[in-house]
Structure 1
Amino acid sequence: MLAFRNSISAITPPLSLGTFIKHFSTFIPAALNPNRNNPRALTTTAGRRLTHFQTLTSRQKEQIHLYVDALLEWNQKMNLTAVTEASEVMERHIEDSLAIIPPIRSSYLSHCGDSYDELSLIDVGTGAGLPGLILAIACPGWKVNLLESMNKRCVFLEHAVSLTGLSNVQVIRERAENVGQNLGFREVFDVSVARAVAEMRVLAEYCLPLVRVGGLFVAAKGHDPLEEVRRAERAIDLMGASVLETCSVESQGPHGQRTVIVCLKDRPTPRKYPRDPVLEPLKDTEDKARTQIRILLLKDNN
């Protein structure tokens, strides 16, 4: 299991004075900063529909309030989420993230181990920390890695981790294809998760090399991903895994539900995977998926 670090200083250089000053106002306590949102305003807005949120302890609820407060404030400076209302963040992001815990729990206990209380988990392409940071709040015994390639998002993630007082989170600023080839991270995690990042067959190549044999890859998808899953079956098999189950979970999105795809890894991933999407030549059967990754990389670099 990985030794955890509570900052990205071992992976990226310390923040410059300019970066610190730029974001300094977000570190000021709410009582001294009238521009910050009031996290308590979230408690009644969508309470009746926040089924998973209501099962949390008062401390966990407070941590999520702090996170949502920070997310909305920082979203005014950088693109973290298209959702701009606190109630929508709670319904569309927080509940969706919490909803994948039951499938992880049931699948892990059935196929991977006799306890899920101390899982090591990596959230690939975490963005604003969804779902990984929310999972870390709800499951404090889990060791959670937030993998994100964009430095400005990592700055936000480090702030959110500090603000919520989490000690079970590590932020990794790196690309998934590089981390997957790093022996310090390759095939060491119990669970790899991804939410709204890329097509399933692309996710398989970037997530499964990080999962230990006997572990799980969990993808949060839309309400009807069966064709996407079918197209991904070959890629999942090449990575040493198979689709274990698909679970429908309630969602406050436009279709009223989302689907969690759970894959079980039963053999090692071939050493060549994951491939570098920039250097690896395209193949006819992979044109759409590889082009999609190239576009994502270009966006990250802009």
Structure 2
Amino acid sequence: GGGFAGVETVGAINDLVHEALRYYPQLAPQEVRVVLVHPGEVVLPELGEKLGRYAQQKLVDRGVEVRPRTKVTSYINALVAISSGEAVPAVTLIWTAGVTPNPVIARLPCKTEKGRVVVDEFLEVPGFAGLWAMGDCAAVPDAKTGVLQPPTAQHALRQARHTAKNIETVLGGRQKRPFRFSTLGQLASIGHRHGVANILGMNFSGFIAWLLWRSVYLLKLPRLAKKTRVALSWLLEMIFSKDLEQMLTLRDVELISRIATSVRSDVAEKSVRGG
């Protein structure tokens, strides 16, 4: 998936893997393969074509294979089948192909759009007095453009506050107020201290966008102590290389077990032949 989650994930993983290569001299950089499959023309379509193409090219420059206009059709035996007919070998598959509203919504007698409950300008479900919807499960139109608002945190938080106020207003016998909010901005990190951002209609890219991305997330963290610790950690990360640790997983244990079984079988077979 080439949305925000997919692009940020593939950028971070690509950086991590290439930084870790120096600890594995037996691996050549050419052996590392990171593939991003995206059904659209360019990644990050929410940010527009210009920033999307910039982000896509930066990922390609960093060694990521970007497959636009392509979908994953299956994943069997460490092979990812894609719509072009190719089978891509992949031990690790990360799925970031978007979110789907809770399936319980499909069973409701409410009108839906793209699987989300349709609401009016007050965030109330038409035809069902006292029923409200917001967040990922609600199809909330933008008052200016008429396009459905994206299911992001900045929208959901404001929708929740506004719904609470409208419920309080109705219970108090006062007039409801329509929900009015447009996206303040959207940012994404694409790896290697580069980013893309659209803030209040203005586009940013490169290191400045990455710095804005980190600044916004830092401001959203609770408590000054946590902000300070994270800021110091980020600062040290820019000066020194990352500390990498390898942890055993269940898959590693199973692999070691298979290798040990194979070695024991070989030893037993040689012993039989020698006897």
| TM-score, length-scaled by structure 1 | 0.22
Structure 1 or 2, whichever has the larger Rg, is 2
User: What TM-score, normalized to structure 2?
Assistant: 0.23
